[in-house]
């Protein structure tokens, strides 16, 4: 498996500094949080996009994916949501990223069946465009669809190879699933895995990997046992928890912890 980190952990950091962190601390790739407050977002012009792609290539770091914020199950018209996904897909294509992340984002007042149908319809429409662009759309286990069982209700309705899953191990755990259950459900759709650590179900403040309660060893073990060889991406949510320690000082220990888990599960 290859290791990456998300720029959610280094909010606003210029791209050259992000790439220096990745190379200095032995990470193979980076997931870019794609938001207007970040250096890379869909508003970039063609020259800026070419520069970003060239910087990744020169650094020898892979751009794993773009973490967007489209909410595919949210109430309202389909058009704006589909357009938001298409803009993300365009950006991913231009930068050379293989994946774009979307959220479920259903409203609590929606019925489960209605939310699933809305999400599947929008993802199915966007999938054809993504296929043409060579990009895969990943529905993250998050918010209204935090478990793998939730996610596959939507993914099964879509039934398109350019729509898959992003396994956020915190959300499936908070939803009461064991890693073996989550993997079994998501395996046919799995794009990559987001790892992190927290103190408890009641305190999701980010911690250094291996110092909290999330079942990271079990996750890595089940992935290894099934021969999965994709990406583990550390999503350290410093953007939302500004008082936590800077990610830069944790990257070596995080890499070492994941490498140890990989060696132990081999």
DSSP result, 35-89: STTSSS-TT--HHHHHHHHHHHHHHT-EEEEEEEEEETT-SS-HHHHHHHHHHHH
The distance of Cα 84 from the centroid of its chain, to the nearest Å, equals 17
Token pair of 219 as six digits? 């996750």
Segment 171-189 mean pLDDT? 98
Whether the predicted model's global pTM rises above the 0.95 cut: yes
> In a 10 Å sphere around its CB, with 0-12 CB exposed, 13-18 middle and 19+ buried, how is residue 255 labelled?
middle
Distances (CA, A) of 241 to 8, 143, 198: 10, 18, 12
pLDDT band for 231, please (50, 70, 90 cuts): very high
Q: What is the pLDDT of residues 8-44, one digit of tens each?
A: 999 999 999 999 999 999 999 999 999 999 999 999 9
Q: Which domains does the chain have, with CATH numbers?
A: 2-265 (3.20.20.150)
Q: Give dist(CA 11, CA 243) in Å, integer.
A: 13
Q: What is the pLDDT of residues 46-67, one digit of tens each?
A: 999 999 999 999 999 999 999 9
Q: What percent of the chain has pLDDT over 70?
A: 100
The mean pLDDT of the chain is: 98
Q: What is the pLDDT of residue 266?
A: 86
Residue with tokens 């898959």: 164
pLDDT band for 125, please (50, 70, 90 cuts): very high
Segment 56-83 mean pLDDT? 98
Residue 236 exposure: Cα atoms within 13 Å on the Cβ side = 26
């Amino acid at each position: 498996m290859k290791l990456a980190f998300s720029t959610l952990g280094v909010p606003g950091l210029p791209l050259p500094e992000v790439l220096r962190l990745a190379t200095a601390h032995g990470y193979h790739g980076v997931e870019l949080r794609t938001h207007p407050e970040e250096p890379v977002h869909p508003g970039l012009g063609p020259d800026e996009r070419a520069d970003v792609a060239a910087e990744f290539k020169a650094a020898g770091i892979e751009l794993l994916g773009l973490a967007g914020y489209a909410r595919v199950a949210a109430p309202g018209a389909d058009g704006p949501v589909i357009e938001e996904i298409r803009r993300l897909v365009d950006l991913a294509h231009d930068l050379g990223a293989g994946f774009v992340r979307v959220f479920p984002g259903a409203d609590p007042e929606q019925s489960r069946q209605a939310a699933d149908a809305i999400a599947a319809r929008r993802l199915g429409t966007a999938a054809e465009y993504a296929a043409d662009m060579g990009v895969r759309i990943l529905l993250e286990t998050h918010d209204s669809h935090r478990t793998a069982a939730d996610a596959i209700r939507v993914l099964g309705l879509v039934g398109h190879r350019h729509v898959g899953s992003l396994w956020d191990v915190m959300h499936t755990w908070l939803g009461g699933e064991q890693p073996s259950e989550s993997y079994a459900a998501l395996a046919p759709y799995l794009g990559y895995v987001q790892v992190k650590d927290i103190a408890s179900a009641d305190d999701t403040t980010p911690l250094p990997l291996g110092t909290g309660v999330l079942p990271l060893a079990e996750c890595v073990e089940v992935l290894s046992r099934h021969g999965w060889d994709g990406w583990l991406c550390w999503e350290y949510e410093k953007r939302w928890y500004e008082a936590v320690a800077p990610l830069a000082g944790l990257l070596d220990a995080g890499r070492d912890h994941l490498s140890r888990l990989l060696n132990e599960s081999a």
